[in-house]
Amino acid sequence: MKKKIIENLKTLIYALILALIIRSFLFQPFYIPSSSMEPNLLVGDRLFVAKYEYGYSRHSFPFSPKFTDKRFVAKNPSRGDVIVFKTPADNRTDYIKRLIGLPGDTIQMRDGDIFLNNKKIKRRSIKITKEINCGKESINVNAFEEILPNGKKYIAVYRDDGTMMNTDVFVVPDDHYFFMGDNRDCSKDSRFLSSVGYVNINNIVGKARIIFFSNDHENGSLMTPWKWHKSIRLNRFFNEIQ
């Protein structure tokens, strides 16, 4: 009996070590808790974030142990990537946003348009059928396909009554990045310098890669299987994140 318990403990320890290695160096699951990235990411989406895309820092590991202030095997992220990072305010809370500004860039919103290095980001108006939310509120929006200078395309939405039409000029410092949510007027991001602001490269956790599960929690949960036909979004399973 004692031998069997020891063998079971060994198996459990090996499993935990393997899970820790996978989570720290390969993939980590994340849950989308807010509407700041609608219509591309919805509340209830669960996704895998690739930890190896940009190298590793202390934030690659559980609980962000303070054993280094450097990044190893570092790779530069690309403009337009959807990235999970630790907020500079507490170096603990995970945010997910789209990378807009690289080190040295200037960013400004003018009359609702984004100017990157004094050039307006190209965009074309599109129609979307999805309901867009801001918290528990459904909002009316104007939707656009935006095209960044590197050719990256994605959908962004703006409230039709415009809540943040103009900003100061943001100048991204060295080794920092500027992020924005795709739900432009329902996102706390780098435009808010006191709470998020510019994000140091060492705060980057990884690149959002794929949605592996999605559940509309307002119509049910995993604990209510009789509502799964209403709550589980099968059409979002294994969608690549653009």
Which residue, among 241, 164, 211, has the nearest Cα to 48 in the 3D structure? 211
Query: Is 194 a residue of the active site?
Result: no
The set of residues, in sequence order, having a beta carbon less than 8 Å from that of 61 and lying 6+ positions away, is 24
Which of helix, strand or coil describes residue 106? strand
| CA atoms of 127 and 121, how far apart (whole Å) | 19
Q: Which two tokens stand for residue 181?
A: 């949510």
- Return the DSSP state at 184: G
Query: Is 125 a residue of the active site?
Result: no
| CA atoms of 58 and 202, how far apart (whole Å) | 8
CB atoms within 10 A of CB 97: 25
> Which entry of 35, 51, 57, 97 is annotated as an active-site residue?
97
Are the CB atoms for 117 and 106 separated by under 8 Å?
Answer: yes
H or E, element range at 178: strand 176-180
> Which entry of 34, 35, 36, 187 is annotated as an active-site residue?
36
Q: Which residues are catalytic?
A: 36, 97
